[in-house]
Amino acid sequence: MARADTASASLRSDSIKGLAQSIAKPAYRRLLTAEPLLRRAVPVLIIAFMLTICIGAAVQVLEHRRQVVYEATRAIEALADHLATELDRPARDGRPRLARAADALEQALPAWAAGAGRRVLIADADGKITAGVPNEPLTLGRHILDVLGPSQPLTTFGAAAGAMEIMLADGETAFATVRALRNPVGLLAVIQSRGEALANWRSTTAPDKIYIEIFNWPTGAFHLENVPRTVTKAYLLAGSAHTPLKLTANGGGLDIQLPPQAPDPISSVLVLVTPK
């Protein structure tokens, strides 16, 4: 009886092995047949993967540029609207409250508008430039078209044209917008070079602070060369904590240790505190 049980168990084991082999062999044979094709497909798949990464990076760069251009044009339009309102606002005697002079324009500029390659030009009813920020004596008395260039619609349509990317008369590409002034009649132009608008970062100064807008967030330390003032503290403007960042002198420059992730994906503001 024991021999019969042993023979029966052996028979069942052999039948299971045979069934497993019958099931596995066709799949194994198909795998062997497909192996040359799979070997050739691996490099193709790697190349496709790398191309996908490159395309994704290119799309990200283009989207970042689009956002920066949008922010730049929005900023110069806001500055033009602000200055046009200030220049047209009359005093009690009916005269303009703000003189159309370089020093008066500098005082009327918001803190965020200074620097960054932005220029403000004021022209009279004949189109002759009477004032500008920064003050450039060589432009005074010239026609505004000699700066903006004759082939642009800004001086014709004014605010209706919005902010446009144009080529200036000297060949430089810039973003510009124009506003018509009424008290007295004239033109206001705000210009920002495209190179400055698309820079990795730009700075704006105040009496006791330096504001740095960072567009391409660096990894590790943010290095500044030839800082004109003594920096006592650095922090990110985002959030209310204003946690101090580590400062390290590096030759004639300064290294600022930034967090690994930017507070804002488009523009993050770093504040450097300096003595007045």
Residue-wise pLDDT for 133-149, tens only, equals 888 888 888 999 999 98
For 206-266, what is the HEC assignment? Answer: CCCEEEEEECCCCCCEEEECCCCCCCCEEEECCCCCCCCCCEEEECCEEEEECCCCCCCCC
Q: What is the pLDDT of residue 4?
A: 44
Entry field: residues in the chain: 276
CA atoms within 13 A on the CB side of 47: 5
- Joined tokens for residue 196: 């400055």
| 250-275: average pLDDT | 86
Q: 73 and 186 share a domain? A: yes
Q: What is the mean pLDDT of residues 82-92?
A: 82
Q: Of residues 31 and 199, which shows the higher confidence score?
A: 199
Q: Do 168 and 241 belong to one domain? A: no
Rounded to an integer, the average pLDDT of 218-234 is: 86
Say if residue 240 is in the same domain as residue 186.
no
Identify which of 92, 147, 96 has the alpha carbon closest to the alpha carbon of residue 123: 147
Q: Is the pLDDT of residue 22 over 80?
A: no
User: Does 122 share its domain with 31?
Assistant: yes
46-61 pLDDT per residue, tens? 888 888 888 877 777 6
Q: How far apart are CA 27 and CA 47, in angstroms?
A: 29
Asked if residue 47 and residue 21 are part of one domain, the reply reads: yes
Higher per-residue pLDDT: 187 or 115: 187
Q: What is the 3-state secondary structure (H, E, C) of 127-192?
A: CEEEEEECCCHHHCCCECHHHHCCCCCHHHHHHHHCCEEEECCCCCEEEEEEEEEECCEEEEEEEE
| Judgement on whether residues 104 and 205 belong to the same structural domain of the protein | no
| 235 & 130 share domain | no
Residue 13, domain CATH:
3.30.450.20
Question: Does position 9 have pLDDT exceeding 60, yes or no?
Answer: no
pLDDT of residue 15: 54
Residue 49 lies in domain: 1-194
- CA pair distance 65, 226, nearest whole angstrom: 28
pLDDT computed for residue 235 by the predictor? 93
CB 213 within 8 A of CB 202: yes
Number of domains in the chain: 2
pLDDT, residue 7, reads 43
| CATH number of the structural domain spanning residue 229 | 2.60.40.1180
In contact, 179 and 187? CB cutoff 8 Å: yes
**pLDDT band at residue 85 using 50, 70 and 90 as cut-offs:** confident
